[in-house]
Structure 1
Amino acid sequence: MNLLIAKWGDSLAVRIPAEYLHHAGMSEGDQIQANLTVDGGICLHPGNWDRKAFLKEIAQTRDRMPMTDSVIDELRREARY
């Protein structure tokens, strides 16, 4: 999803869709942590990050992923030595 950076007083702001906030467990008034990533991106996390909830979400995501060939095995088959 492409978002627009807009002027908000003397600052710039990005509107985050409500669906994204709900999925991340955030709502109006919550504090978030912002970090710069190695590739120049911005990563936002809830200020009250819940490790157990995160692990549960990762497990559910993993369970929904189809099992395919190992990426490493695929790279080895394609490797040129």
Structure 2
Amino acid sequence: MQIAKWGNSLALRIPADYVRQTGLKEGSWVQATLTVDGGISIRASKWDRGAFAQELEKTREAMPMTQAVMEEFRRAARY
């Protein structure tokens, strides 16, 4: 397989045989993880709204709420 440019990102085409075997289709969700040996594992997954909300909450908690952030929120709220 060859990696290609797609906008500002890189893309990997999934061969048709893999698509048929996994049941993937356009718009399907997949989960990509890094393996211990530096490989990439891609698995078909169903979108889990609860898990997404938890991940979003963890990310939000990790972001510092500084004055600059609050000023940006206020400035954006005016428009």
Does residue 31 (structure 1) correspond to residue 32 (structure 2)? The answer is no
AA of the residue aligned to 1:35? T
* 2:55 match: none
Does residue 4 (structure 1) correspond to residue 2 (structure 2)? The answer is yes
Identity of aligned residues (%): 54
* 1:44 match: 42
Counterpart-to-counterpart distance in 2, 1:38 and 1:25: 27
Calculate the TM-score normalised by the size of structure 2: 0.55
Counterpart-to-counterpart distance in 2, 1:21 and 1:41: 20
Structure 2 stretches of 5 or more lacking a match? 47-79
- String of CA shifts for 1:28-75, please: whole Å, max 9, x gaps: 110000010011000011113xxxxxxxxxxxxxxxxxxxxxxxxxxx
AA of the residue aligned to 2:24? M
* 2:73 match: none
Paired positions, count: 46
* 2:17 match: 19
Which portions of structure 1, spanning 4 or more consecutive aligned residues, are displaced by more than 6 angstroms? Answer: none
Structure 1 stretches of 5 or more lacking a match? 49-81
CA RMSD of aligned residues (A): 0.8
